[in-house]
């Protein structure tokens, strides 16, 4: 069952800015990634999900309620990390956590404490003097601490160092395992690859593709880079009936259909080469390919 549903959502700011005819359907328990370049429309879409913006056209529904009209009721099911964090006028991280816990009528801070420990956050610090990463960690704790069934995360790892980013990914995996529905925008492709089931790409306010991560990662073909021992071997190899491109005098890139791998290796064994490496399919590769106008290969 779709828990988040956008139908034909348009917010037109003029000059081709905004979001246009957005259709998205996110199932309960699904982790859904949302990627796009700066200004593509990620935050505008997310602000519609949160009921902060009313669409000019179309509908946004969360658990079948209207995200704009029923925003107050919907809020109780959502843990949210905004793209730009603005803290209220409170002194320390703890003050903010307690203030938000009061608003959420959350008595039990045990999960908040677990997250604080995992993210190595010191909430006793003065919020105004916190680094970007510390502020982000505080926002993560507050968004997750009430165990809301739906998590809406706008660039959640902004400002986190690689170690903390890895910890965050693990936290999100744990949340997903608990059955949470997760909608997450990010510029970090690995983050989406590791946590999400599906990804939508948005460009100039329009959804250009929605794919499952497994489709992106496992393709029908494999790409290899071969470094031959000398030029002659590379030139000779190029005569083979194999989908290959010479990328230098001694190096070739080959595209192999999965069911012809044995044949390819048998041919290759008759050549002298120093190195063979497989190029893994990645979300980043697909993103650049589709964004630059190429067809998406399923
Ligand atoms: N209130 C507004 N008034 C006018 N234009 C706006 C407004 N809010 C957003 N826009 C425009 O809508 C487009 C989408 O912006 P949005 O912030 O959703 O992009 P984004 O994908 O989140 O970008 P980023 O990755 O930089 O955060 C941009 O062209 C932006 O300038």
Report the pLDDT value the prediction gives residue 294, as an integer from 0 to 100: 52
Pocket lining: 82 vs ligand 1, CB cutoff 6 Å: no
Q: Which atom of ligand 1 lies closest to the CA of 205? A: 14
Pocket lining: 42 vs ligand 1, CB cutoff 6 Å: yes
d(CA 208, CA 34): 11
The answer to whether the beta carbons of residues 45 and 6 sit under 8 Å apart is yes
Kindly report the protein residue whose alpha carbon is nearest to atom 25 of ligand 1: 38
CATH numbers and ranges of domains, the chain:
2-215 (3.40.50.300), 220-280 (3.30.70)
Q: Which atom of ligand 1 lies closest to the CA of 47? A: 18
Pocket lining: 38 vs ligand 1, CB cutoff 6 Å: yes
Q: Is 145 left (phi over 0), alpha (psi -120 to 50) or beta?
A: alpha
Mean pLDDT by 10 residues, the chain (298 residues): 94 95 97 94 97 97 97 95 90 95 94 97 94 96 97 95 95 97 93 95 94 82 90 94 85 86 93 92 79 55
Q: What is the crossing angle of helices 162-177 and 132-144, to 10°?
A: 10
ipTM of the complex: 0.97
The answer to whether the beta carbons of residues 4 and 183 sit under 8 Å apart is yes
Instruction: Give the C-alpha distances (Å, rounded to integers) separating 73 from 46, 61, 70, 77.
Output: 17, 12, 6, 8
Residue-wise over 152-169: b if at least 16 C-beta within 10 A, else e? Answer: bbbbbbbbbeeebbebbb
Report the pLDDT value the prediction gives residue 215, as an integer from 0 to 100: 83
Residues in the chain: 298
Report the pLDDT value the prediction gives residue 241, as an integer from 0 to 100: 86
Kindly report the protein residue whose alpha carbon is nearest to atom 18 of ligand 1: 41
Report the pLDDT value the prediction gives residue 296, as an integer from 0 to 100: 47
């Amino acid at each position: 069952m779709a828990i988040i549903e956008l139908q034909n959502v348009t917010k037109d700011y003029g000059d081709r800015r905004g979001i246009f005819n957005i259709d998205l359907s996110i199932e309960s328990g699904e982790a859904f990634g949302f990627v796009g370049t700066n200004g593509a429309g990620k935050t505008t879409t997310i602000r519609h999900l949160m009921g902060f913006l009313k669409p000019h056209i179309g509908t946004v529904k969360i658990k079948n309620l209207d995200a704009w009209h029923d925003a107050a009721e919907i809020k109780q099911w959502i843990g949210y990390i905004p793209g730009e964090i603005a803290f209220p006028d409170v002194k320390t991280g703890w003050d903010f956590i307690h203030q938000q816990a009061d608003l959420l009528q959350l008595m039990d801070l045990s999960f908040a404490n677990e997250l604080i420990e995992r993210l190595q956050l010191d909430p006793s610090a003065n919020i105004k003097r916190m680094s970007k990463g510390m502020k982000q960690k505080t926002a993560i704790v507050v968004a997750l601490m009430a165990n809301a069934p739906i998590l809406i995360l706008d660039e959640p790892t902004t400002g986190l160092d690689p170690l903390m980013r890895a910890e965050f990914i693990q936290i999100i995996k744990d949340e997903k395992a608990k059955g949470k529905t997760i909608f997450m925008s990010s510029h970090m492709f690995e983050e989406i690859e590791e946590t999400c089931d599906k990804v939508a790409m948005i460009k100039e306010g329009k959804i250009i593709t929605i794919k499952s991560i497994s489709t992106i990662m496992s393709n029908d073909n494999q790409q290899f880079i071969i470094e031959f021992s000398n030029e002659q071997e590379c030139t000779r190899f190029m005569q083979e009936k194999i989908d290959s491109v010479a990328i230098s005098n001694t190096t070739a890139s080959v595209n192999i259909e999965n069911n012809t791998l044995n044949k390819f290796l048998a041919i290759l064994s008759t050549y002298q080469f120093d190195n063979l490496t497989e190029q893994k399919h990645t979300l980043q590769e697909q993103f650049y390919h589709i964004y630059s106008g190429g067809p998406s290969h399923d």
